[in-house]
Structure 1
């Protein structure tokens, strides 16, 4: 390892924070896409970041075969690779995959060489393979056609493999209202990749509950459940009083009882 300390690899959040402050923002646009992590809200958000990925963190080991769907810039994927996992990330947007490859070069120069496969490809076109872990963050509500997507993911998961899906909580009325203002009633649309001209079907903020996700995968031999957490939206995460109250409720594990207030839903399933 170069001058970067081992603490950078201690968790996805620690590595993500290092990425935010060490990259060339013109080449790898973290600030443009994640401005909330540069704000006074950041301390609360960093704690929530690793909680979202706790199921992934628990599974990481050398040789773990990992597929991230909708990898974006891919900071978590690079963290997994640095911890020894065999990783591939896919995304349908060229601007994301180009930035992810640039991040691979940055990690090579600042930490050590690492193998991270990045592909600009539709999930349904991904060649057959077997993965021990398939995960995605804030991506499932963009994947269509939904039934084909679930079947494809199930076919890619090895027996005993795990799937982790992090989504906004569809039971939260504020989130649903925000999504409705973005999309109206157009829940499925066509989009075009600006770099290639390729047209693809896009789920337009079509949120579903963790229970609905669990039911969909259960039909394909994957048993799992969803958990809800995080009480503060980003707009309130800079208020010290609200942060203290939220931290207390979260430590007491009361947050899961406040279903409409929770921000995140995490589905975890295992293939039999």
Structure 2
């Protein structure tokens, strides 16, 4: 049943229409496309809901509402409609993330009722690479295995804490976070390079579809930065992912992270959109 402004929760019968919507920009929409394909839009598997906005019976925009709230193909009008619906239920999400303009309009619509965010990150470059990296890949980068966990897990915690500003183990989250690290490893989506048994570079595929894969968690220990490990490591990850996971590799980066942006540019990533993130 449609609510005000043509918004309603989606279900399994809406999957084809949603995938058609996401395919209008399959790289930018890789996260929500992946979530739809792996959950069949069933709320119990989504851990939340996917909302659709309809005009004349056609789905024109959508919004993932789980731990992350992510607008999909949303114009300013769509974002305002999603914000109005969101205000009726209160904030349950920890992050709002996605294309800059839609996130900004959505946030403006809910800010008064959702409380002060922990951090606002505007203008995050969304990058992608569709071909061979511009630099030689590090031949030492490989998929991680369970025998790597003693090195890998602390590195993942350190990366997350540095990037997000709070440990993933905060508030008793260690078990869930370890399960997530293990899940990515088991999927073959966790990559690292080791130097005499010590992890010196890592990165993961966060999500993937037949069209694209999104990279997360790129990290080098502070005392090994500036050696080119991330550049050669990312070139290796791009080659592995393009060959075995998806043809296009994407990620988004903080605008102020000049060293990371230089690294990705050297590898051959180019900016194709701008993201924004609101963190609670």
TM-score normalised according to structure 2 size? 0.32
Structure with more relative contact order (C-alpha pairs < 8 Å, separation 6 or more): 2
TM-score normalised according to structure 1 size? 0.33
Structure with more of its chain in strand, by fraction: 2
